[in-house]
Amino acid sequence: MSQNTDRDSLPNPLDPEESMSREQIEAIQLTRLKETLHHAYNNVPYYTAKYDAAGVHPDDLKELADLAKFPFTDKEDLRKNYPFGMFAVPQHEIARIHASSGTTGQPTVVGYTKQDLEDWAKLGARCLRMAGVKPGWKVHNAYGYGLFTGGLGAHAAAEYLGATVIPMSGGQTDKQISLIQDFEPDAILCTPTYLLTIGDAMQRKGLDPRATSLKVAVLGAEPWTEEMRHELEEMFNITACDIYGLSEVMGPGVAGENGERKDGSHIWEDHFRPEIIDAFDETKVLPDGEHGELVFTSLTKQALPIIRYRTHDLTRLMPGTSRPGHRRMGRITGRSDDMIILRGVNLFPSQIEELILKVPSLSPHFQLILSRPDRMDQLAVKVERRMDASSGDAANGAKELAKLIKIHVGSSCAIDVVEPESLERSLGKLKRIFDLRNS
Ligand code: DLL
């Protein structure tokens, strides 16, 4: 029996690094950061050229704060080096390739060695376990399989944990429902908006989502709010936890949330060094607690070391709680490229989600439509009334929502309440903003 009471008090830690102190983590970070910088500089011409041009060398890193001397990497850099220019190992050592969907340009391609895949599975498993998923449970995986990192990433995590994986992938909502009923999974992995789609479809069939076997949902790949967590937990009678990640840094499992505390996702800092920078002045690295853009440096990745990658996700860093050595991130309030600037006021879809869910007659199914009649930007919120709300209730709800938006966001916008089931449902990552200003 272990005598280490500190470790024993953690809910099922998986590996020793997970339960390290902050000092131990920072010591590991410094060693790994030096190795990563040399690995990237010696093996990826992009980094060699960029650091030579900036007059910095991996040997300039003596302490963690020196990382700020090194230039950033952005999605554009991966695109310019399409497809394999960012790889730091020969192709025969690449065990897997993933790519972003590339809806907004050239896809970004990422690669993994066998060791990278093993680390990824381990970190994903840490997230699932911390959320409350147990070895031996049946796990229904409804993240999309394929080039997207969600499906295969979550799959490997659940397998590593020792769960029974049901590799359903995204879409085919009727089939999802049948499998959930027949296979009786204990946990589900998908995007928050897709879980809403499933719950909604169940209710339409006269089935009660609260009566399924599901106990835990591990949700990510898109921003979601505390109000949405409450909505989904009530809808399914489950615990809903966050999982965060991005392909360029690894995939799902960069950070995950504790299912008992639900106090934000712990970033696995033995593998990633996070920084928060001022989103408008990248030269400023902000202290913990301040909001800004999240930047990541990988510390162990072999195939695709990534240094100071700008995620464009806006959040803040907070001290670790259930894993004290690893800092937590606040909820992603939005992506800097999803920010709507409406007559000088900045707003994000998640702010609107939060306010809609405060109005009992309105459902979480909504879209934001931006247009420019008469050369003035206008925002319309299209939102479905709840099935059990009357049209009169919904009309009052629309007035209430307009008022809430005016008070909390500082902007006027039109509210267009539409009939239940009239807006397109999410099948994975949901598109909320429809910008018609230049069409
Ligand atoms: O979405 C990886 C993933 C799959 C994470 C499944 C979690 C679960 P990408 O397609 O590269 O990778 O998209 C990454 O999605 O920069 C965020 O903007 C957003 N995102 C991911 N997880 C969260 C989350 C995957 N928990 C981009 N909360 C990121 C908010 C998230 N946004």
For 276, 291, 306, 312, the CA distances from 280, given in Å and listed in that order, are: 12, 12, 22, 11
Edge-to-edge strand list for the sheet holding 414-418: 414-418, 378-385, 362-371, 433-435
**Tens-place pLDDT, residues 241-268:** 999 999 999 999 999 999 999 999 999 9
Query: Residue 313 CA: which ligand 1 atom is closest?
Result: 18
Contact (CB, 8 A) for 365 and 383:
yes
Q: Cα separation of 4 and 156, whole Å?
A: 30
CA of 219 to the centre of ligand 1 (A): 10
For CATH 3.30.300.30, the residue range(s) in the chain are 340-435
Please name the residue whose Cα sits nearest to atom 6 of ligand 1: 150
With 80 as the cut, is the pLDDT of residue 10 above it? no
Q: What is the pLDDT of residues 398-431, one digit of tens each?
A: 999 999 999 999 989 999 999 999 999 999 999 9
Pocket test for ligand 1, best of 222, 296, 350, 433 (most atoms within 8 A of CB): 222
Question: Chain-wide mean pLDDT for the chain?
Answer: 94
pLDDT category at 322 given cuts 50, 70, 90 is very high
Q: Cβ atoms within 10 A of the Cβ of 65, count?
A: 10
pLDDT confidence band for 5 (50 / 70 / 90): very low
DSSP 136-167: T-EEEE-SPPSSSHHHHHHHHHHHHHT-EEE-
Choose one of 130, 313, 336, 431 to mutate for the ligand 1 pocket test, by most ligand atoms within 8 angstroms of C-beta: 313
Give percent of the chain above pLDDT 70.
96
- Measured by CA distance, the residue closest to atom 15 of ligand 1 is 221
Span 15-59, pLDDT tens digits: 899 999 999 999 999 999 999 999 999 999 999 999 999 999 999
Q: What are phi and psi of 209, to 5 degrees?
A: -60, -25
The count of other CB atoms within 10 Å of the CB of residue 215 is 18
Separation of CA 253 and ligand 1 centre (Å): 10
Fold of the domain spanning 3-21+112-331: Rossmann fold (3.40.50)
272 lines ligand 1 (CB under 6 A): no
| pTM of the predicted protein model | 0.95
Is domain 340-435 given the CATH code 3.60.10.10 in the classification?
no
pLDDT in the model for residue 281: 94
* Residue located nearest, by CA, to atom 4 of ligand 1: 150
Q: Any idea which of 41-50, 86-95, 283-292, 366-375 has the lowest mean pLDDT? A: 366-375
pLDDT tens profile 111-133: 999 999 999 999 999 999 999 99
pLDDT digits (tens, 9 = 90+) for 227-241: 999 999 999 999 999
CA angle, 313 then 289 then 406, to 5°: 65
Residues 6+ apart with CB under 8 A from 144: 150, 151, 169, 170, 171, 428
Q: How many CA atoms lie within 13 A of 234 on its CB side?
A: 7
Q: How many Å apart are CA 358 and CA 290, to the nearest integer? A: 26
Listed in order, the ranges of the chain carrying CATH 3.40.50.12780 are 3-21+112-331
Residue whose CA is at the smallest distance from ligand 1 atom 9: 246
Ligand 1 touching residue 108 (CB < 6 A): no
- Structure confidence at residue 4 as a pLDDT band (50, 70, 90): very low
